[in-house]
Each structure stands twice: as structure tokens, then as C-alpha cells.
Amino acid sequence: MIAAPASEPLRRFLQVARGAGLRVSAAEGIDAARAVDIIGYADRTVLKDTLGLLLAKTPDEKAAYEEVFDLYFKRDEFSGDKTDDRDESADSEQNEASSPSNGTGGDGMGGQGGQSLGSLLSGDDRAALATAMEQAAREAGIENIRFFTQKNLYARRILDRMGLRALERDMEAMRQTGTPEGLGRAQFLEGKVDQLRDAVRDFVERNLILYAKGETEKFREELLKSARLSNLERRDLDRMRILVRQMAKKLAARYAKTRRRRLRGQLDTRRTLRRNMGWGGIPFITVWKQKRIEKPRVMVLCDVSGSVAAMAQFLLMFMYSINEALSDIRSFAFAGSLIEVSDILEKEPVEEAITKIMSLIGFGSSNYGNSFADFEDGWMKYVTNKTTVIILGDARGNRTDPRTDVIGRLSLRSKRIIWLNPEYRSAWGTGDSDMYRYAPFCNLVTVCSTLRHLERAITDILEDAV
């Protein structure tokens, strides 16, 4: 738990950094707090470089860190000429870190040494105004802002906590006096209040960007994971590739942990006695049973014809992203005929390899029977009772011979066959679909048209090996 005096602004910064995509562990948060205790907030450049070394690991994270740091520590709402922005920002952050909240409310107090909002505006103390505004924002729960429509609500809450209502009453009393001094004073404060409103709106908008970004990204990711891959737009593909890698890495890490799991409490009596023969059989050294979990061997046959090309690309990318968990992966692509593409995927970056594969054999008319015959002639001999065969395709062979006999022989030789069909189940068996002819020879036939479906299918393969 971070207990340093500077913990509150740092805690909020770590919150927005995580929302921006940085993976910040609890240990890294503690290290960051210790570093801030030493260097403080006075020198923005030193602070930025120090936290960057601790929190940002990858090029993408470094870019995100640069953006979120500059946005979070920006303090120019009250800097008229912006020449002293750096010094005022540091003073504001230091004051916020060292002074506790005093529960300011709508009593005309600005929360800075007991000064009223009118005094702060009249004195043009920009650092004190910035500190008062941030304290009021914290009390208003600015961290909970999520939607654009909440901007005016939070702006009003902040102004109320800074003491605007009391100041407005004072200004009205000044006008009621009718004296030149009272009218002039009210007019002067009215101009300052307008500037304050603009500054608070900018502050709220910046916090909306900071705190809502993480929630917006999560919502967008959930939509992309549940969207049919055939419906994705080109602008979504880069984000989808990132999601594929994240999902694959998570699965691989979980499976690797499972493989190392011991069967606690199950003593291997025979090996224990043998190990302790030198001590007359007294079990000074115990030997515990361990469960061997072998990596599943996988062969992937992907239909890369025009109708399912998008899904095939993501499957190949996903399978090679979890290469840590799977061994002996052999990948094949087919449309009118079938070729092995394992070497291409191993020697080149995945995105470039997939582009090359699609240019070699993709986007043509599918002929399942001919492709399965090619597989039997060239690679059936490598299939064993430990091999899982994954077939991705819509089973539409353009009314050619489906060669179900080849699938039958493949079923006898392999551990299991999993067929992932990107079409809705209601479309199976209609038109030129041969899905129901192949289904009896498969251990699992399921709809697979989203990343969610794909993740579930791969998870089943890994769990079956445990």
C-alpha cells in the first residue's frame, strides 16, 4: 500500500495510466511511490523520466505513457501567458500532495489556507486557484466521470465546492449597494468568475479524457471480441491483432502454470523407499507424484477461400501466438488445393506471412474433396493418436465430391477432429454445404465466427491435455 505524502496524486496517475493500457503491477506502484518520495514533483522532466523507466516497458506503452503523463500533469488553466506554467504546476502538485482535504463546501472558501474564493480571484493567485480546483474536483469525485454528458454536472460540482454560490451572493450584495465601488467590484469579480468557469470546463474535459479512456477501450474491446470477424472494418484490424496476442499470451501463461502443477499430498511410496534405502527405509527424503501434462500436437487446416479468409487469418495468428503452449504445430491452407504453410509462418512475421499465404492460395473457390485428398497423399502419415486436427471452413465445396472417406480415415488415425464453422448453424446443410456429411467423423463441430468463439475452442484443446 502506498503511504507516502505524495500518494494521492500518484495513485490517480497510476489509475489513468492503467486505463491507457500500461500494465502496472502493485510492486511497480510501490517502486514509483518510493521514487516520488525521493525526487518529488518539482522537476517535471526528472519525474517524467523516472516514472517512465519504472512503468513503461514496450514501445506501445512508452508512447501511451508520454501521452497520459503530459495530459495528467498539464496545469495551464490559470496561466495567462503560460510562461510560468512549469513552476506553478509543480507548486500546485506539491501543495496538493502535502495538504490534507479540509472538507470545503459551498461556504465561499477556496480550500487554500482558509481563503475565500473571492480573495483567491482578487489576488490572482494562480497556483492557489489550481490547488483549490483540484481539491474540489477530488471531493466532487472527478475520478468517476465516464461520459461526455457529465461534463457540465462535474463542472458545477467543482465550482460549488470552491465556493461559487457564496461568492455569487456576495456579488449580488455588492450590486445592491448601488455604489460605484460595489458595482465595480462586482463587475471585476464577474469577469474573474467567467475565467474560472472556462478553466474548470477545460479541467473537467481533460479528466474526462483521462478517466474515461480506459473504460471506453474496455467497452470497445468487448465489442470487437464479440463481433463477427467477417463484419470487421479495416480500421479495426490492428486493434484485433493486439487483442489476439493478449488473449493468446494469457492462455499460454495459464496453461504453462497448469503443466507445472504438482499433485500435492500424493506420496510416491515406491520411489520414497528406494531413495531412503541408505537410512534403513526411514523416509528422510520424500518423493511426491507429479502429473505429466504433454503439449497437444496440432494440425490446422484453414480454408482461405474468399468466404472465410478473414477468419482463417485470425486463426493462424492465434495458433502461432500460443506457440509456448502448443508443440509440433503444422499449418495448412487450402482453397482449390492444399499446401503446408508452417515454414512461411515460422520464418516471417505473422502479419507478413499471412499476406504471403493469401497471395499464394487465398481467395479462390473452395474444393474440400480435392484439398482433403492432397492432405492424405502428403501428410496423413504424420497424424498419430496424439494429434488434434482443427479444420476451419464453411464446408461449402461448390458441389464437388466432399471425400468424406478421407475424413473418416483421418478420424481413425487422429486423437480428435475439431471443425470450426464461421457460418450460423441454421445455414449448415443448405445449398452446397456438406457440413452434416462431415459432422459424424468429427469430435466437435461448432460455430466459430468471433474471437470469443476462437478463444473458447483453443481453451478446450489446452484443458483437454491436462
Cα of first residue to Cα of last residue in the chain, in angstroms, is 37
Q: Answer yes or no: is pLDDT of 466 > 90.
A: no
Q: In which band, very low, low, confident or very high, does the pLDDT at 311 lie, cut at 50, 70 and 90?
A: confident
Q: In which band, very low, low, confident or very high, does the pLDDT at 445 lie, cut at 50, 70 and 90?
A: very high
pLDDT for res 97: 43
Q: What is the mean pLDDT of residues 148-164?
A: 88
Residue 330's beta-bridge partner residues? 299
Q: Could you give the maximum distance between any two Cα atoms of the chain, in Å?
A: 109
Q: In which band, very low, low, confident or very high, does the pLDDT at 259 lie, cut at 50, 70 and 90?
A: low
- Greater model confidence, 307 or 150: 150
Q: What is the mean pLDDT of residues 380-403?
A: 91
Q: d(Cα 456, Cα 462) in Å, to the nearest integer?
A: 10
90-123 confidence digits (pLDDT tens): 444 444 444 333 333 334 444 444 578 888 888 8
Q: What is the mean pLDDT of residues 212-237?
A: 70
Q: In which band, very low, low, confident or very high, does the pLDDT at 342 lie, cut at 50, 70 and 90?
A: confident
19-44 confidence digits (pLDDT tens): 777 888 888 888 888 888 888 888 88
Q: Answer yes or no: is pLDDT of 441 > 50.
A: yes
pLDDT for res 3: 38
Question: Mind listing the domains of the chain with CATH numbers?
Answer: 7-223 (no CATH), 297-464 (3.40.50.410)
Residue 438 in contact with residue 399, Cβ under 8 Å? no
- Greater model confidence, 257 or 273: 273
CA 44 to chain CA mean position, Å = 28
Helix axes 44-55, 7-19, angle to 10 degrees: 50
- Greater model confidence, 89 or 446: 446
Q: In which band, very low, low, confident or very high, does the pLDDT at 292 lie, cut at 50, 70 and 90?
A: low
182-218 confidence digits (pLDDT tens): 888 888 888 888 888 888 888 888 888 777 766 666 6
pLDDT for res 317: 73
Q: What is the mean pLDDT of residues 45-65?
A: 86
pTM greater than 0.85: no
Residue 249 in contact with residue 321, Cβ under 8 Å? yes
Share of the chain above pLDDT 70, in %: 78
pLDDT for res 293: 55
- Give the residue ranges of DSSP H helices in 2-116: 7-19, 26-39, 44-55, 59-72, 85-98
Count CB atoms within 10 A of the CB of residue 393: 27
Q: Determine the residue type at 451.
A: L
| Cell numbers for 363 | 481467395
pLDDT for res 273: 84
Count CB atoms within 10 A of the CB of residue 231: 10
pLDDT for res 294: 58
Residue 119 in contact with residue 132, Cβ under 8 Å? no
Q: In which band, very low, low, confident or very high, does the pLDDT at 417 lie, cut at 50, 70 and 90?
A: very high
> How many residues are present in the chain?
466
Residue 432 in contact with residue 396, Cβ under 8 Å? yes
Q: What is the mean pLDDT of residues 296-310?
A: 81
Share of the chain above pLDDT 90, in %: 15
| Cell numbers for 384 | 498419430
User: Containing H/E element for 338?
Assistant: strand 338-340
Q: In which band, very low, low, confident or very high, does the pLDDT at 250 lie, cut at 50, 70 and 90?
A: confident
Q: Determine the residue type at 430.
A: T
Mean pLDDT score across all residues of the chain:
78
pLDDT for res 405: 95
pLDDT for res 434: 94
Q: Which of 162-176, 320-334, 439-453 has the lowest mean pLDDT?
A: 320-334
Q: d(Cα 110, Cα 112) in Å, to the nearest integer?
A: 6
Q: In which band, very low, low, confident or very high, does the pLDDT at 2 lie, cut at 50, 70 and 90?
A: very low
Q: What angle (nearest 5°) sits at the alpha carbon of residue 292, between those of residues 277 and 392?
A: 170
Closest residue by Cα to residue 346 from 319, 371, 372: 319
Q: In which band, very low, low, confident or very high, does the pLDDT at 57 lie, cut at 50, 70 and 90?
A: confident
Q: In which band, very low, low, confident or very high, does the pLDDT at 84 lie, cut at 50, 70 and 90?
A: very low
Q: Answer yes or no: is pLDDT of 442 > 90.
A: yes
Q: Which of 47-56, 319-328, 399-408 has the lowest mean pLDDT?
A: 319-328
Q: Answer yes or no: is pLDDT of 371 > 90.
A: yes
